Amino acid sequence: MTTLVKVVTCELEGEFDDYESVWNDFLVLTNRLPDITILATQRHVFQNGGLSGVVIIGESHLAIHTWPELGRAYALFASCSSDESMSKFKIELARHWSVVRSSRE
């Protein structure tokens, strides 16, 4: 059986108080991934400054959810794009925050 969608999840640690900066960093790292086509973005900022954001791509989606009061975030990349793209996701996240746990090494 062929896997149609690959998923990488990462738990992150770092500074998430500035939701604008976090969102911009997430968009920049998304743009650095090969073999994806960005179609739309959407974000929601909570009263505590937490952020939930999604980038819809032609190949599926990327998402980030932050808990600034805990210094934690969760990021996800689901896609049928190349393995190179999936691997680069974790590398790009690590440029901005500490990757505490990842579903794909």
Residues with a catalytic annotation lie at: 60, 65, 80
Place of tokens 């998923």: 7
Q: In the Cβ-directed half-sphere of 26, how many Cα atoms lie within 13 Å?
A: 28
Bridge partner list, 76: 9, 63
Quote the CA–CA distance of 88 and 61 in Å, as a whole number: 15
Is residue 27 a contact partner of residue 41, using CB atoms and an 8 Å limit?
yes
